[in-house]
Chain A
Amino acid sequence: MFADPKVPSSAGRDATGMCAATVEFRHVSKSYDRRDGPAAVDDLTFTVPAGSVCVLVGPSGCGKTTSLKMVNRLIEPTGGQILVDGTDVAGEEVTALRRRIGYVIQQVGLFPHRTVGENVTTVPRLLGWSREQQRERAEELLGLVGLDPARYRDRYPAQLSGGERQRVGVARALAADPPLMLMDEPFAAVDPIVRERLQNEFLRIQAELAKTILFVTHDIDEAIKMGDLVAVMQAGGHLAQFAPPDEILARPASDFVARFVGADRGLKRLSLSRIGALPLHQAVTAVAGEPVGDARQRSLADPFPFLLLIDRAGRPLGWLPDRDVPADGIVDERLAIPASPLLERETTLKDALSMMIAADVQAGIVVDPAGRVLGLLTMEALGAAGRAGAAGRAGAGAALRRAERRPAAARPPAAAP
């Protein structure tokens, strides 16, 4: 059902081998008490398409970790089936199954008596790869997760920081190029700054590898950030909602989901969208130091009560209230209110809103990479975007996010946290 992991594809084996598996839960249940006790997982049914990240999120005790462990059969379900690429995992030889599924846990679980290199090649060694293949793979993966192989390969886990250990944990899970990865709160044990970095790098790596990933977290913000699909679970192991993040935020399926995602779900939604192709208000501009011409008339005719001063290259200099625009003569830059905030197409709507609230003039000046004015983002436009689904509906949102990950992939691996 999977590509044979025993045969690493020749010398040029790179980390970008695209292989991913579909995962399907069919009425999966797990109960620990046979006599109608509360189920740990209750009739779970959903499908994760190959190559996407599905985040299982919910309060503690909602059965999300149990669900994850049933995929690699660390826990056996009491009912239903889990299919990986169409094959029921229950029918697989359990060790062979696990060797084809990457596994990352919260406590990382690196072997303290093994070096970083040995830890990374745990599964390849179980699969009987040659020493040379193992060595090559370790180097490649350490590079992928941003750890210099020459520096880190022979260290022991005790000599690493928390963030470095998590990176090694991810590298280890990727070692045999599994089509499916299970990640159980992989970033929960590190501080928020390192977590943010690991999340971003994870998205960069995922954009490159496109694995199927089941990811467990109790943090709704992490779920929204990381997931192509989010499965919100609630106590008793019920699936409360299964949808792309934007839809979870825009249309929570129940009160529970609405409460769980929080009262600020509107803001969270804005964080999913970028200014991108939103319609911009055409700014009325005048070039500083040049004759003002009919700028006053144009500015008064425009509903937006400010004129934007720009330099000769088209870069914004400052705002001038309509009534202060001289009828003739030269426009004096010194009268202007400083031009802020400056936004780019890539700025998230949440960041845009945050900056606009703090500014003197509540409109965002959207500029191109050279700093030239493209147009204005007004509060009204932002509000409309928030209500309508911003840069498109759910599907488009996910596609947009994936597109955003791509440019990040081109960055050189950042230094270790």
Chain B
Amino acid sequence: MGRDARRGGRLMVLLDALAAWFADPAHWAGPNGIPTRLLEHVALSGISMLIAGAIALPLGLWIGHTGRGATVAINAANLGRAIPSLALIGLAAPITAAFDPQLGFRVYPTLIAMIVLALPPILVNASAGVSEVDRDLVEAARGMGMRERQVLARVEIPIALPVILAGLRSAGVQIVATLTLGAIFGGGGLGNYLVLGIAQNDVGQVFGGVVLVAALALLVEGGFALLGRALTPVPLRAAEGGEHRGRALEGRAAG
């Protein structure tokens, strides 16, 4: 009984600190204000996604379409997955520092690590999504006189789209969450609240940062889910029961 009360009391203290931190107008302005840090976080995530997508999407689609280099690419991607992100940022720091001592800290090591982090899910999903498209369908497309590029653009990508988008979504969520670590190396973003908060023993700031990162990650997840729904061709939403509903409503001709 007493223990529960103590626990409840601690939770209340935490929530109070969190509310106080969010309520303080000083935390909503300046270079360490919530809008600035949020913007930094979003911008860094966005840039990492764009670069990772620009590398992994075409490569993944090509691998899926041709079936060439699949093993090599997927093993390389899994290797990238196996290295902890913090170690990756640490590894990237001396490399960027070698070009310019200033770059060793600030955002560049983080950016590199985030790109490496995002490559595997995008690459693996793009190649698997495309290679799993029914080969008979692909041959029918070729047999009707589609060029390879048309086969990819008109048949393989539209059908693989849900899988491709799932890869992007998973990459996006991982980036938003992991980018937090970049603050240790001076990378900016919402992670600064965690690093500073721990250093200053400021519970409100630590949990404020946690809440913001979590909310952003959920937003990315939800955003991609909606995008996926909007872009997936109607009949391919079968996983949601669309096909069966369609059949039941349309009433097919006999035979």
Contacts and interface: CB of A to CB of B under 8 A. Distances in A.
Instruction: Determine which residue in A98, A114, A156 has the highest number of CB atoms from chain B within 10 A of its CB, and name it.
Output: A156
A276 interface: no
A109 interface: yes
Contacts of A160: 252
A95 B146 contact: yes
Contact of A105 (B139, B155, B159, B234): B139
B252 A103 contact: no
Instruction: Determine which residue in B134, B147, B253 has the highest number of CB atoms from chain A within 10 A of its CB, and name it.
Output: B253
A159 to B, nearest CB: 5
Interface stretch (B114-122, B177-185, B242-250): B242-250
A118 to B, nearest CB: 10
Contacts, number: 90
A163 interface: yes
B143 A159 contact: no
B243 A109 contact: no
Contact of A112 (B146, B147, B235, B254): B235
A164 B252 CA distance: 10
B144 interface: yes
B253 A416 contact: yes
Nearest to A160: B252
A163 B253 CA distance: 10
B139 A109 contact: yes
A143 to B, nearest CB: 15
A159 B250 contact: yes
B155 A111 contact: yes
For chain B, what secondary structure do more than half of its interface residues adopt (helix, strand, loop), or is it mixed? helix
A90 B155 CA distance: 26
Contact of A74 (B139, B234, B243, B247): B139
Interface string A46-69: 000000000000000000000001
A156 B144 contact: no
Contacts of A172: 144
A113 B159 contact: yes
Give the interface size class of chain A: 35 or more
Nearest to A415: B253
Interface string B118-161: 00000000000000001011011111111100100011001100
A415 B254 CA distance: 9
B255 A123 contact: no
Interface string B29-64: 000000000000000000000000000000000000
A107 B137 CA distance: 8
A113 B236 contact: yes
Contact of B145 (A99, A111, A114, A156): A99
A126 B142 CA distance: 12
Nearest to B143: A103
Contacts of B146: 95, 126
Contacts of B253: 161, 164, 415-417
Contacts of B155: 111
Contacts of B69: none
Contacts of A163: 255
A122 B137 CA distance: 13
A95 B145 contact: yes
A97 to B, nearest CB: 8
Contacts of B150: 126
Contact of B142 (A74, A164, A182): A74
A323 interface: no
Contacts of A117: none
A72 B143 contact: yes
Interface in B158-208: 158-159
Contact of B144 (A107, A123, A417): A123
Interface in A96-136: 96-100, 103, 105, 107-109, 111-114, 122-123, 126
B158 A107 contact: no
A109 B137 contact: yes
Contacts of A99: 144-145
A157 interface: yes
A124 to B, nearest CB: 11
A97 B144 CA distance: 9
A156 B139 CA distance: 20
Nearest to A69: B143
Nearest to B251: A159
Nearest to B142: A74
A197 to B, nearest CB: 8
A193 B254 CA distance: 12
Instruction: Determine which residue in B144, B147, B154, B158 has the highest number of CB atoms from chain A within 10 A of its CB, and name it.
Output: B144
B241 to A, nearest CB: 12
Contact of A156 (B136, B147, B246): B246
Contacts of A74: 139, 142-143
Interface string A180-215: 001000000000011001000000000000000000
Contacts of A156: 234-235, 246
B140 A109 contact: yes
A122 B233 contact: no
A289 to B, nearest CB: 47
A191 to B, nearest CB: 9
B238 interface: yes
A155 interface: yes
Contacts of A113: 158-159, 233, 235-236
A357 interface: no
Contacts of B158: 113
A111 B153 CA distance: 13
Nearest to A74: B143
Given A111-B154, A113-B236, A417-B255, 7 more contacts: A74-B143, A103-B143, A105-B136, A105-B143, A112-B159, A122-B144, A156-B246
Interface of B: 134, 136-137, 139-147, 150, 154-155, 158-159, 233-236, 238, 243, 246-247, 250, 252-255
8 contacts: A98-B143, A99-B145, A105-B136, A105-B140, A159-B250, A160-B252, A417-B253, A417-B254
Identify the 3 closest CB pairs spanning chains A and B, nearest first.
A109-B140, A99-B145, A98-B145
